[in-house]
Structure 1
């Protein structure tokens, strides 16, 4: 009798397990950036983005965050993003998958904060171009994370003219048309991955670096850098994106959560970027770095030289139609 009762209880328990819904497992996403350590502006944005997704989803989505160099260099992390091993990313775009991404590095495309923010904001002409290009390489484009206009940081001599730059060798990003732009401005160049820049500057492989807003040079190289010239050859911006296959696997509600969190991070940075950049100019000067802004006339000469030499190259690399759009919308010099 006891055996029959035990068998009955086991059968009931088994039946209950079959018909009782299992606890819902949270979706886990990996989020990374190729540039920005924990505690940096980019690192803080990444952390807030992850926190917002978890909060807005009420724990339905878990996010694991990886900061600069934790998963590899810039190209390696972007490779992981395109492959889907990193689902969410704040990236400084690499052109290895589609040279059209190089539109973001068009020299002297915009020359004022107002023009740049209008171009990169949702609905802006650069924003629209990038959205289509990212989709073609399998990424969902949420929008830009603007930093500001970049410049040239050097250990010794600096240049305000093309002639003065001829004896200065600078590190550039490894993407087209970064080296070509600096060559048009008179510099010798070496394309070096971000993780190797400090050593290259410290050992004298290059005299400076020409890829960043002043924050990066203050934060990472202030013991080496003596001068920062705001050449404004690129308007620097990161991009918030998601692997499209991972996006498609999310429910409609989860997609809404990720989109809303992305928009909030982007809007935060649009409001903060200019003040943030000015703050780091002050910090750099306090640290002993000489900060120089070329005059409008000097910038016009640099801008015209870069446009004349680099934009025709871009027509061949990213397409005449895209460059036609750039020419129609670019800031006047």
Structure 2
């Protein structure tokens, strides 16, 4: 018995001796698109992030990606990130609104003059203010604001759109966001909130005449097969909101936290770069132009859209979010103005 006990003790000691000093830390990372970094903007983001985190921490932190909504819809996974069941996720503005409704402030139409200004604004003091407010109200740490594909365009199967009058009577699919509905209705269109999985069929069957999305998403979803016209309105920029569970982040060592933060910054650069490449390449507008009529608005034509849409959306923001929403909107507009100089 004594020999058996001794051998057991020795074996146990050997097991503990070869066991790692710290348990491996895993970041489960949700996003809605494919993992291929050359096919989707979030694919580029998660690929770069995974590589930099695992290399930078020497493998003490692993990243497991869950593409194409494998873990559920954005609003469902958000609750999992808050609870710590999933560590991180890259969310659409529409999905994020279920947890942080005031994200709707970003839906002020025609607020950004060009795409580079959006990056300056979200990487600067306004992005920090918004991120701090999100953390305060949701408990989740913001890793950054990604690019969902650039500015929104409007497509439809009926006619070329050059003025707000051309929108009258057109049923345009939107997300469930009230701010998006207000944009379409203020321009004379009829907003139709349709789930993403049903949009292609809705356009194909005429349940909706058109929809609005960035160019890479229009191309990825093959909407050119069921739409004839595309107008480059550039009316909205809806960033991806990337968050991580605060408790999990705090459990990382200071060195690991630095690696994660820096990896996220580099991943967003990659995300933005591939977004612009897809938009400009054969996977984007040049390909769509082969089968769709492309309309580019003049500055005067775009001003007519802006003048019709902005008052309605501003009224919605003030009515819904009160002084706090008005202050956040004012901060956004001031940041845009400063970045445009």
TM-score, L = length of structure 1: 0.88
CA distance, structure 1, for counterparts of residue 309 and residue 160 of structure 2 = 18
Aligned to 2:258: 256
The whole-number CA distance in structure 1 between the counterparts of 2:335 and 2:118 is 11
Give the equivalent residue in structure 2 for 1:205. Answer: 207
Distance 1:214 1:18 in 2: 56
Aligned to 2:35: 38
Aligned to 1:22: 19
CA distance in 1, matches of 2:109, 2:218: 20
Does residue 320 of structure 1 match 2:314? no
- Relative to structure 1, the CA distance from residue 11 to residue 65 in structure 2 (aligned partners, 3 Å threshold; closer, same or farther) is closer
The reply on whether 1:219 has 2:220 as its aligned counterpart is: yes
Q: Counterparts of 1:55 and 1:183 in 2: how far apart (Å)?
A: 49
Residues 7 and 86 of structure 1, relative CA distance in 2, 3 Å threshold:
closer
Report the aligned-residue RMSD: 2.3
More helix per residue: 2
Retained in 1: the 8 A contact 2:75–2:99? Answer: no
Which residues in structure 2 correspond to 1:1-333 (within 5 Å)?
Answer: 6-7=3-4, 9-10=6-7, 12-13=9-10, 16-17=13-14, 20=17, 22-23=19-20, 24-34=22-32, 36-39=33-36, 40-41=39-40, 42-93=42-93, 94-121=96-123, 123-125=124-126, 127-135=127-135, 136-146=137-147, 147-210=149-212, 212-220=213-221, 221-279=223-281, 280-286=284-290, 288-318=291-321, 319-330=325-336
Whether contact under 8 Å (1:73, 1:195) holds in the other structure is: no
| Distance in 2, Cα, partners of 1:238 & 1:132 | 16
- Aligned equivalents of 1:149, 1:156: Cα separation in 2: 22
Distance 1:8 1:268, change over 3 A: closer
Between 1 and 2, higher relative CO (CA 8 Å, sep ≥ 6) is seen in 2
Shift of 1:269: 3.3
Q: Which segment is superposed worse, 17-26 or 222-231? A: 17-26
Provide the C-alpha distance between the structure 2 equivalents of 1:241 and 1:178, rounded to a whole number of angstroms. 23
| Residue 44 of structure 1: how far off its partner (Å) | 3.1
Contact 1:165 1:185 in 2 (8 A): yes
Alpha-carbon distance change, 283 to 323 in structure 1, aligned in 2, over 3 angstroms: same
TM-score, length of structure 2 as denominator length? 0.86
Residue 266 of structure 1: how far off its partner (Å)? 1.4
Q: How many residues align?
A: 324
Q: Which runs of 5+ in 2 are unaligned?
A: none
Of residues 178-187 and 37-46 in structure 1, the stretch that sits farther from structure 2 once superposed is 37-46
| CA pair 239-327 structure 1, distance change in 2 beyond 3 A | closer
Could you tell me which runs of 5 or more consecutive residues in structure 1 were left unpaired when the two chains were aligned.
none
